[in-house]
Amino acid sequence: MRNFLLNLLERFETTVHKFNGNGNGNGNGNGKHPIPELIKHELSLENTYFRTTASTTQKTENPLDDSIDRAQRYLINQQNITDGHWVGILEADTTLTSEYIMLMHFLNRVDYEKQGKAVAFLLKQQLTDGGWNIYYGGASEISASVKAYFALKLAGYSENESFMKKAKECILGMGGIMNANCFTKIYLAMFGQVDWQAVPAVPVEMILFPAGFYFSIYEISYWSRCIVVPLSIAIARKPHVTVGDDLLKELYLVPREDVVYRIERDQDGFCWYNFFIDADSIFRRYEQHPIKFIRRIAKKMAEKWLLEHMEKSGGLGAIWPAMINSIFAMKCLDYPDDHPALTAQMKEVEALVIYEGDMLYLQPCVSPVWDTAWSIIAMNDSGIPGSHPVLQKAGKWLLSKEVRDFGDWKLKCKVEEPSGWYFQYANEFYPDTDDTGAVLMALQRVSLPEDMHKEKTLLRALRWLQAMQCDDGGWGAFDRNNNKTILNNIPFADFNALLDPSTSDVTGRCIEFFGRIGFNKTYLNIKKAVEFLKKEQDEDGSWFGRWGSNYIYGTWSVISGLIAVGEDINKAYIKKAIAWLKSVQNSDGGWGETIKSYEDSALKGIGKSTPSQTAWALLTLITAGEIKSSSTERGIDFLLSTQKEDGSWDEREFTATGFPKVFYLKYHMYRNYFPLMALGRYRHFTHKLATSQ
């Protein structure tokens, strides 16, 4: 470990000069990279940063040690024994299961046993008011309810069933079928349930815009790109699956033939919203009489893009909506059912199915890289050394998942060698900075043989992560400078996540890694990141969480990064964040935040205590030096008192985010590795504090 770190420090010199941007190396004129306190600690102890004297195999009477021991054992038992990775279930809402039924009927390949299990899940998830929500504890949501109702209709259920009557009344009470979002209407149009006039224009010709053009597909987020390109192919064909065009007539507030499809303009006159409404009107008229040779070229280019981007990926974009849209697209291109590309996508779809007794539901994707990185960090921070076989095996698996090919990101990010990590088992075109930051912090903790070339990998990934920083000082997830906000006015962008701009939580993760290897605020790019985060802070001291719910997650991510790069914990804005976090602690000692805070900021930090959100709050307080505060001790007591005998925790709430206000997630491993991480760090710092006195 000592030789590795010394060699790594030497190899940083060139990279540091570039990152600093002023040729001064560490920004103070001496031209050398400072040996950070973290690495000094590792060099002196020949061990990992959070290593403690507690044994993970020895039973103890200390409640904290016993809790950590049980949590470690539970996590080890969840590890894949073959290759060492971890992966938990990634749960979403019922829309995916509804779409699974719709997909079977679109293909005319209904597996009635699977359909029955999917129906059982939908019926179990139906709320007392008849609708379906998009997160645990949430109110009925119109698009989820319409999709579930339609899926049940496709499965043969009559509108006269009592549960269907309740669903219908609920949907009508929310404005009826025409209040569903654009993607729901597109799917329903394929089945003849809404008119194609209800669907905003998604012209396949947009693939012809060159990279760098303001309206290029590369100016929208990776997930939007992967969803929209195949969907544009399908819309160009306007398929019609015969199931009876009046299957959902009862969900219209007015007779279908009387529906007005005009989009209401903003009354302020010229604005980007009105501009895109006018553009949509023009494109819709063009759709009726497209220029044939241009459309033919566009479809060929879109098909080529589609097939290329399905290579080296667990399905297009390795995410559910892109996968099923690619299937729709290939069928609209007249691919036979046994075409290799089509069968490959179907295989990836089936891999997302979770069977639970007599039910099944769908995951939006899988999270092995993310889960493995955080599991390593939690295990190491709670006392398991980086040389332990459990962590070495996981570290080797993570190394094998490094991206080694250029992806879409290369258009705005100029590096000599590709690197980074994706979220899933395979998604070579789309590594992301959030996973990469977490993986690098995990690999930093693991001792691996020299022939694994960990040093070269870390340096390569470091350069890639540096190059992905946006001009505003922050980091987005998958692209640089994916921030043309006027595009959010495009009519089909109502899923609230067309773009991938810099966010506080991802920026915090990135600078936390840089801080751990010695970068601090004297470096130009770190200084820019800190300034970005200061601008993003809310008045009450909290930060928004783009990828986790919500302000508790964002504040944890940011404070972790700021302290890592040497920000003074006594700075007013840091103290303000800590004060806010303490102010929202629940009476039971834990922390929780409802998903509703994305819609109403008055609810930020408010909600039933959960293990994962309590852990994030504790990690923030511990990082800020609040080891002995009553808030920290009460939070630790909450985790100890709610842990189950097998070492795990229960958590029904959704605490992660796909698209704010539209799509939420529940990582089944969050409730276990984050509490372990918090308990481990608490033990380390209380031990350190005790021995220093």
Give the pLDDT confidence of 384-423 residue by residue, as tens digits: 999 999 999 999 999 999 999 999 999 999 899 999 999 9
Residues 139 and 248 placed together within one structural domain of the fold: yes
Q: Hey, what amino acid is at 485?
A: T
Weakest-pLDDT range from 18-22, 198-202, 429-433, 525-529: 18-22
Report residue 421 as tokens. 């990590």
pLDDT band at 20 (very low <50, low <70, confident <90, very high): low
Does residue 612 lie in a domain region?
no
Mean pLDDT across the stretch 126-133? 99
Instruction: Provide the pLDDT for residue 356.
Output: 97
**Do 378 and 680 contact (CB within 8 A), yes or no?**
yes
Q: Is the pLDDT of residue 9 over 60?
A: no
Report residue 410 as tokens. 């290369």
pLDDT band at 23 (very low <50, low <70, confident <90, very high): very low
Task: Tell me the pTM.
Answer: 0.93
CA triple 197-199-200, angle to 5 deg: 110
| pLDDT tens digits, one per residue of 304-333 | 999 999 999 999 999 999 999 999 999 999
pLDDT band at 7 (very low <50, low <70, confident <90, very high): low
How far the first Cα of the chain sits from its last, in Å, is 30
Of 330, 362, 394, the one marking the end of a domain is 362
Virtual torsion, Cα 527, 529, 531, 534, nearest 10 deg: -140
Task: Kindly report the backbone phi and psi dihedral angles of residue 453, in degrees, each rounded to the nearest multiple of 5, phi listed first.
Answer: 55, 40
Does residue 653 lie in a domain region?
no
| pLDDT tens digits, one per residue of 220-266 | 999 999 999 999 999 999 999 999 889 999 999 999 999 998 888 88
Instruction: Provide the pLDDT for residue 19.
Output: 53
Instruction: Provide the pLDDT for residue 39.
Output: 36
Of 190, 183, 208, which Cα lies nearest the Cα of 299?
Answer: 208
Of 316, 342, 362, the one marking the end of a domain is 362
Does residue 100 lie in a domain region?
yes
Instruction: Report the C-alpha gap between 484 and 488 in whole angstroms.
Output: 8
Which CATH number do you get for residue 338? 1.50.10.20
| pLDDT tens digits, one per residue of 473-504 | 999 999 999 999 999 999 988 888 999 999 99
Residues 439 and 523 placed together within one structural domain of the fold: yes
| pLDDT tens digits, one per residue of 330-371 | 999 999 999 999 999 999 999 999 999 999 999 999 999 999
Q: Is the pLDDT of residue 622 over 70?
A: yes
Does residue 441 lie in a domain region?
yes
595 vs 260, higher pLDDT: 595
Q: Is the pLDDT of residue 42 over 50?
A: no
Instruction: Report the C-alpha gap between 510 and 507 in whole angstroms.
Output: 5
Does residue 104 lie in a domain region?
yes
Instruction: Provide the pLDDT for residue 273.
Output: 86
Instruction: Provide the pLDDT for residue 690.
Output: 86
Instruction: Report the C-alpha gap between 592 and 607 in whole angstroms.
Output: 5
Residues 214 and 312 placed together within one structural domain of the fold: yes
Of 300, 328, 362, the one marking the end of a domain is 362
Does residue 602 lie in a domain region?
no
Say how many residues make up the chain. Answer: 693
Distances (CA, A) of 218 to 215, 316, 413, 476, 652: 8, 16, 12, 14, 37
Average pLDDT over all residues of the chain: 92
**Do 405 and 385 contact (CB within 8 A), yes or no?**
no
Instruction: Provide the pLDDT for residue 493.
Output: 87
Residues 180 and 38 placed together within one structural domain of the fold: no
Q: Is the pLDDT of residue 14 over 80?
A: no
Residues 350 and 371 placed together within one structural domain of the fold: no
Report residue 10 as tokens. 């030497």
Does residue 631 lie in a domain region?
no
Q: Is the pLDDT of residue 440 over 60?
A: yes
Residues 75 and 101 placed together within one structural domain of the fold: no
Residues 158 and 230 placed together within one structural domain of the fold: yes
Instruction: Report the C-alpha gap between 15 and 464 in whole angstroms.
Output: 11
- 205 DSSP assignment: G
- 197 DSSP assignment: G
Residues 79 and 13 placed together within one structural domain of the fold: yes
Instruction: Report the C-alpha gap between 331 and 340 in whole angstroms.
Output: 13
Report residue 312 as tokens. 């080296």
Instruction: Provide the pLDDT for residue 691.
Output: 87
- As a whole number of angstroms, the longest Cα–Cα distance in the chain is 81
| pLDDT tens digits, one per residue of 157-204 | 999 999 999 999 999 999 999 999 999 999 999 999 999 999 999 999
Task: Kindly report the backbone phi and psi dihedral angles of residue 540, in degrees, each rounded to the nearest multiple of 5, phi listed first.
Answer: -80, 0
Instruction: Provide the pLDDT for residue 34.
Output: 40
Q: Is the pLDDT of residue 541 over 80?
A: yes
Of 510, 547, 540, 544, which Cα lies nearest the Cα of 528?
Answer: 510
In this structure, the number of other CB atoms found within 10 A of the CB of residue 601 comes to 15
Residues 138 and 6 placed together within one structural domain of the fold: no
**Do 663 and 141 contact (CB within 8 A), yes or no?**
no
Does residue 609 lie in a domain region?
no
Instruction: Report the C-alpha gap between 58 and 272 in whole angstroms.
Output: 65
**Do 582 and 546 contact (CB within 8 A), yes or no?**
no
Residues 37 and 171 placed together within one structural domain of the fold: no
| pLDDT tens digits, one per residue of 669-690 | 999 999 999 999 999 999 988 8
Q: Hey, what amino acid is at 96?
A: L
Residues 168 and 101 placed together within one structural domain of the fold: yes
Containing domain of residue 224, as a range?
A: 93-252+274-362
Look up tokens 């970068």; give the residue: 519
**Do 562 and 530 contact (CB within 8 A), yes or no?**
yes
DSSP string, 423-450: SSS-BTT--BHHHHHHHHHHHHT----G
Cite the active site residues: 434
Residues 189 and 329 placed together within one structural domain of the fold: yes
Work out how many domains the chain is built from and give that number. 2
